[in-house]
Amino acid sequence: MPAIALPATSGQSVSLANLPNRTVIFIYPMTGVPGVALPDGWDDVPGARGCTPQACAYRDSYNEILSYADVVFGMSNQSTNYQTEFRGRVHLPYHLLSDLNGLFKQGLNLPTFQLHGITYLKRLTMIISGGVITEVHYPVFPSNHDAAWVIKTLQEQGRD
């Protein structure tokens, strides 16, 4: 993992080079806000829609995932304030990381798409063990099945 620290909704900075032994990071483009329209054309971008169902699937599977992993993070390039509102609204037990400045995206050359001049991260999930990415799920579709993929993959890896 690159030696990058990202702000988290916990109020702390998370060093990606010093993650716990087994970490799950699921990356998503953008969560919406009730009553605020998504950008024009959002639904026409393959894989853009489904961030909230994905995050909620991780919420609902959180305890089972933690029986195999040490920590779970969601990540987007939205601001920490935006993510904090979302985390509270949908009652997420895990924290979200903000790659607002694109350091992680650049460090790993993550896949992106552009819409109206804004670059968004494509949906991708990583399992990291001892600072090394051991599994990648890409493309992620449907988004609400991603947490089940993580559980199955972690079960196959076994617990250290």
Q: What letters, b where the CB count within 10 A reaches 16 and e where it falls short, cover 3-32?
A: ebebbbbeeeebebeebeebbbbbbbbbbe
Please say if 56 is a catalytic residue. Answer: no
Catalytic residue among 6, 48, 51, 72: 51
Distance CA 110, CA 26 (A): 12
Distance CA 10, CA 15 (A): 13
* Residues marked as catalytic: 51
